[in-house]
Structure 1
Amino acid sequence: MSADHTHVPIVPRERLDFGLDGDIPRYWMGNDAFKTRFFDAMSTLFPQGEKFFITSVREFKDDVTDPKLQAEVRDFTRQEAQHSLIHRQFNDRLAAQGVDIESIDRQLAEHFFERMPKFTSRFQRLSATAAFEHLTAMMCTCFFERRELLETSDPRVRAMYAWHAVEEVEHKAVAFDVLTQVAKVSYFRRILSMLLVSIGFPITVMLIMNHMLQVDGFSRWQRTKMWVRGLWWFHKPGGLFWNTWGYYFAYFKPGFHPWKVKEMPSYGTWLRTFEATGDAVAAGNALHAAAGR
Structure 2
Amino acid sequence: MTTHSHRIVPRPGPDFGLDGDIPRYWFDGDPFKSRFFDAMSLLFPEGEKFFIACVRDFRDDIEDPQLLAQVKDFIYQEGQHGAVHTQFNNRLKAQGIAVDHALQRQREIMFGTFRKRFSPRFTLAQTAAAEHLTAMMAHGFFGKHGLFDKADARIRAMYAWHAVEEIEHKAVAFDVYRTVAKGGYFTRVGAMLLTSFSFPMHVFILMRHMFERDGIEQRGRLWLKGLWWLYGPGGLFPRLLPHYLRYFKPGFHPWQHGDMRVYQRWTASFEDSGGDAIAAADAVMQDAQARAA
- How would you bin the TM-score normalised by the shorter chain? over 0.9
Q: CA deviation at 1:63?
A: 0.7
TM-score, length basis structure 2: 0.96
1:225 aligns with 2:221: yes
Residue aligning to 1:204: 202
Structure 1 residue aligned with 2:92: 94
The normalised TM-score by structure 1 is 0.96
Matches within 5 A, 1:31-50: 31-50=29-48
8 Å CA contact 1:145, 1:264 repeated in 2: no
In structure 2, how many angstroms separate the alpha carbons of the residues matched to 1:177 and 1:148? 31
- Are 1:163 and 1:280, in contact at CA under 8 Å, matched by a contact in 2? yes
Q: Hey, what does 2:282 align to over in structure 1?
A: 285
Compare 206-215 and 230-239 and name the one that shifted more.
230-239
CA distances 1:18-39 after superposition (whole Å, capped 9, x unpaired) = 1111111100000000000000
Structure 1 residues 6 and 66: alpha-carbon distance in aligned structure 2, compared to 1, 3 A threshold: closer
Shift of 1:236: 2.4
Q: CA deviation at 1:110?
A: 1.4
Question: What is the count of residue pairs matched by the alignment?
Answer: 289
Which residue, out of 126, 147, 150, partners 1:149? Answer: 147
Q: Segments of 4+ in structure 1 off by > 3 A? A: 3-8
Q: Is the 8 A contact 2:3 2:70 kept in 1?
A: no
Q: Which runs of 5+ in 2 are unaligned?
A: none
Write the deviation string for residues 85-129 of structure 1: whole angstroms up to 9, x where unpaired: 000000000000010001011111111122222211101110100
Following the alignment from structure 2 to structure 1, what is the Cα–Cα distance between the partners of residues 13 and 193?
36
Structure 1 residue 134 corresponds to structure 2 residue 136: no
Root mean square deviation of aligned Cα: 1.3
Aligned to 2:251: 255
Determine if contact 1:144/1:264 at 8 Å carries over to the other structure: no
Amino acid paired to 1:246:
P
1:129-178 Cα deviation digits (max 9, x unpaired): 00000001011111111343211100000000000000000000000000
Equivalent residues in 2 for 1:169-180, closer than 5 Å: 169-180=167-178
User: Paired residue for 2:262, among 263, 266, 275?
Assistant: 266
1:125 aligns with 2:129: no
* Cα distance in 1 between the residues matched to 2:115 and 2:36: 28
Aligned pair in 2 of structure 1 residues 122, 273: CA closer, same or farther (>3 Å)?
same
Offset at residue 14 of structure 1 (A): 0.4
Match of 1:241 in 2: 237
Partner of 2:189: 191
Whole-Å Cα distance in 2 between the matches of residues 162 and 5 of structure 1?
Answer: 21
Q: Secondary structure at the match of 1:255?
A: coil
Identity of aligned residues (%): 53
Would the aligned equivalents of 2:3 and 2:175 in 1 still touch at CA under 8 Å? no
- C-alpha distance in 2 between matches for 1:4 and 1:189: 20
Unaligned runs of 5+ in 1: none
CA contact (8 A) 2:136 2:243 kept: yes
Asked whether the equivalents of residues 46 and 107 of structure 2 are also in contact (C-alpha less than 8 Å), the reply is yes
Once residues 54 and 227 of structure 1 are traced to their aligned partners in structure 2, the CA distance between those partners, rounded to angstroms, is 33
